[in-house]
Structure 1
Amino acid sequence: MDHRAKRVAIVGAGTSGVVACKHLLARGFRPVVFDAGACVGGQWTRTLASTRLQSPHVAYRFSDFPWAESVDWYPRHDQVVDYLATYARHFGVEERVRFRTTVLAAEYVGADDDAASGWEQWAGNGDAFGDGSGAWRLTVRHAESGTTETYEFDFLILCIGRFSGVPNIPKFPPDGGPDVFRGRVIHSMDLSDMEDEDAAELLKGKRVVVVGSGKSAFDIAAECAEANGVEQPCTMICRRPRWLIHHTNVWGKVAFAYLFMNRFAELVVRKPGAGVASNLLATLLSPLVCSRAPASF
């Protein structure tokens, strides 16, 4: 079989899925992209209202497709979605996407069990997984019709990313979790999946406790501050203290965050066998690593 006739499935129409489909089309393949959403964009279509790129748009773009001239320096989430959608339309990717379709299962069938047991997932030489004797069988549910169908492909590309809609819920002891809490418990993913108006209405006038100190936690705290102001502050519960930086550009034009992306970060770490000068410098720079953070916003 000619390689151009190979059947290729891509799961996910986010950034990676769109690019994978674009390159396959350029090489003569006719891939099929499955995505549970209603448009391309992946996680960018399900974010908080305040979400923006944390990098300038010039550093976050496809090499073969420019941003619109009117885009913000730090694009909003809707501008990122529009950029991905425009990219998909320009390269003919959008017509290959089957929206509102959820892949329920994927299995490799038709291969000899003894041969399959000796395969490696990646040989390191560019060859695909397996020897081509089998096929990938995908079970797909179509949201609009409610039907479930099975398809077979020669190749399968997973582009679901790290945040594929499965929230990380901690385990609670008996009689010590959401079952005894009188308020409403919601995960950050669930809040992000809401419409902007619905999320704002949910937070309005509520006493909110945010557990965690990751990026989503601070974003939600900022959303609460926007909705309720100082009259109804949001409380954060953090395992470790954090130093909150109001803006990345401090000390003039120095980008503070970039200091920790190079060898400067080594200076703030105590190293075994280091001299007095090295340990003294690490001590003096230690406030950059950790400092007390306020409890309310």
Structure 2
Amino acid sequence: MMAYSDFPPPAEYANFMHHSKVIEYIKDYAKHYGLVEKIRFNTTVKRISRNEDDGKYLVSLESGEIEEFDKLMLCTGHHAQPSYPELKNLDKFKGQVRHAYDYTNPSGYEGKDVFLLGIGNSALDIAVDIAKIAKSVTISTRRGTWIFNRVSQGGMPYDVQLFSRYYDVLLKTVPWTLANDFMEHRLQQRMDHDIYGLRPDHRFFQQHPTVNDALANLLCAGYITVTEDIDTFTE
């Protein structure tokens, strides 16, 4: 579903592409449509203003050059910079502290006690990645989350099933409470969020769910433990 409609990925690519394939796909798209020669990389924009006369955008570059454009789009990305929570006495902790932003592979976590703060997509992907090599993996969650699978009935990707005209009409017709009840019932059949201490206060459609297929199996096998919010750190 993330593909450009006029440029489908190669048939041999997986439904859920590895990040190396995603960047390959984007580069192929840019090359196919001749976009690369129209892009100026590593060019710093100092200021953007609006021309009062014709409504066009004036873009001032670090070089001193000013260019005019009809349209403007700012794409900074909301994950471009890591965000750090304020944690009591974290400076006293003798262990290693890393942000998910800096995680690339499980190397170095062999035989370690690993504690993950938060239960978003990044935290669960990392937990699943290192669960089989770490001594222990514990996930701390303040409010829980709904765990949504990538793969649905028949082994089909969930988005292929849900992003359809039928479901679009259904969600606009069915009362919101009923839609939440239906989705939560489906998720509870896969993994009881109450037993595993994951049920959040919010309903399914109120916030973005966390997507993960392996968590239930790893919780059941004792590779991952879920605990509540933390208060403070010791050495």
Q: TM-score range by the shorter chain?
A: 0.5 to 0.7
Q: Secondary structure at the match of 1:85?
A: helix
Shift of 1:91: 0.9
Shift of 1:201: 1.9
Q: Larger RCO: Structure 1 or Structure 2 (Cα < 8 Å, ≥ 6 residues apart)?
A: 2
Equivalent residue for 1:138, pick from 61, 69, 72: 61
Does residue 153 of structure 1 match 2:94? no
Provide the rounded CA distance (Å) in 2 between the counterparts of 1:223 and 1:151. 47
Aligned residue type for 2:28:
T
Shift of 1:159: 2.1
Does residue 236 of structure 1 match 2:151? no
Contact 2:118/2:142 (<8 A) preserved: yes
Shift of 1:85: 0.7
Contact 1:107/1:138 (<8 A) preserved: no
Provide the rounded CA distance (Å) in 2 between the counterparts of 1:70 and 1:284. 34
Does residue 71 of structure 1 match 2:71? no
Shift of 1:242: 4.4
Shift of 1:210: 0.6
1:9-67 CA-partner distances (Å, limit 9, x unpaired): xxxxxxxxxxxxxxxxxxxxxxxxxxxxxxxxxxxxxxxxxxxxxxxxxx232121122
Q: 1:164-243 to 2 correspondence within 5 Å?
A: 165-173=80-88, 176-177=89-90, 179-191=91-103, 194=104, 199-226=105-132, 228=133, 232-242=135-145
Shift of 1:187: 1.2
Contact 1:249/1:255 (<8 A) preserved: yes
Alignment correspondent of 1:266: 177
Q: 1:62-101 to 2 correspondence within 5 Å?
A: 62-99=4-41, 101=42
Provide the rounded CA distance (Å) in 1 between the counterparts of 2:184 and 2:23. 44
- Closer/same/farther in 2, CA of residues 284 and 88 from structure 1, 3 Å limit: closer
Provide the rounded CA distance (Å) in 2 between the counterparts of 1:267 and 1:212. 29
Normalising by structure 2, we get a TM-score of 0.62
Provide the rounded CA distance (Å) in 1 between the counterparts of 2:35 and 2:177. 44
Aligned residue type for 2:59:
W
Alignment correspondent of 2:44: 103
Contact 2:116/2:139 (<8 A) preserved: yes
Q: Which runs of 5+ in 2 are unaligned?
A: 197-218, 225-235
Provide the rounded CA distance (Å) in 2 between the counterparts of 1:210 and 1:76. 23
Provide the rounded CA distance (Å) in 1 between the counterparts of 2:176 and 2:150. 19
Provide the rounded CA distance (Å) in 1 between the counterparts of 2:39 and 2:183. 52
1:195-248 CA-partner distances (Å, limit 9, x unpaired): xxxx3223333221111111111101011124x16xx12110011344656663
Shift of 1:162: 2.2
Contact 2:117/2:140 (<8 A) preserved: yes
From the CA coordinates, give the structure whose radius of gyration is larger: 1
Provide the rounded CA distance (Å) in 2 between the counterparts of 1:167 and 1:253. 34
Contact 1:268/1:285 (<8 A) preserved: no
Contact 1:259/1:265 (<8 A) preserved: no
Aligned residue type for 2:66:
E
Aligned residue type for 1:266:
T
Give the percent of matched residue pairs that are identical in Structure 1 and Structure 2: 26
Contact 1:107/1:137 (<8 A) preserved: yes
